[in-house]
Amino acid sequence: MTVKELYENIGGNYDEVLSRLMMDKLVDRFILKFLDEGSCKSLMAAWEEKDATAIFETSHAAKGVCANLALTCLTEPLSIITEGYRPGKESERDEAKVNAAYEKLTKVYPEVIAKITEYRDSK
């Protein structure tokens, strides 16, 4: 499997990440580093603790990482969570929408990690 095929399998935007990183080799290197990047796991811990400040901070960090790697399947729910927990906007939070985004994230994130791990192990 190529890194482009991996992106197709995980719901990422290969053309976008390639335009940012400029070389297939760099896309490969950074998508593998995502396996050790912990902001999504930190978000899940913050969510369990119901720590609104930590939810905002970790979702914002995870959104940035995923956006830079063009992992749109993760960026979309992370954006909803980030905006839902943005300080000063609490009264505007749509709990149902934020909860649905979190459910999507907790479903998709492990799938993405499994596919990247499979890709790494097949090399």
Distances (CA, A) of 99 to 6, 23, 72, 111, 115: 28, 37, 18, 19, 25
Encoded tokens for 111: 């799938």
Give the total residue count for the chain: 123
Q: φ, ψ for residue 20 (rounded to 5)?
A: -80, -45
Owning domain of residue 76: 3-119
**pLDDT tens across 6-60, in order?**
999 999 999 999 999 999 999 999 999 999 999 999 999 999 999 999 999 999 9
Number of folded domains that form the chain: 1
Encoded tokens for 108: 């998709």
Q: What is the CATH number of the domain that holds 37?
A: 1.20.120.160
Are 9 and 115 contacting, i.e. CB atoms less than 8 angstroms apart? yes
Please say if the pLDDT value at position 90 is more than 90.
Answer: no
The DSSP call for residue 23 is S
Whose tokens are 């063009």? That residue is 70
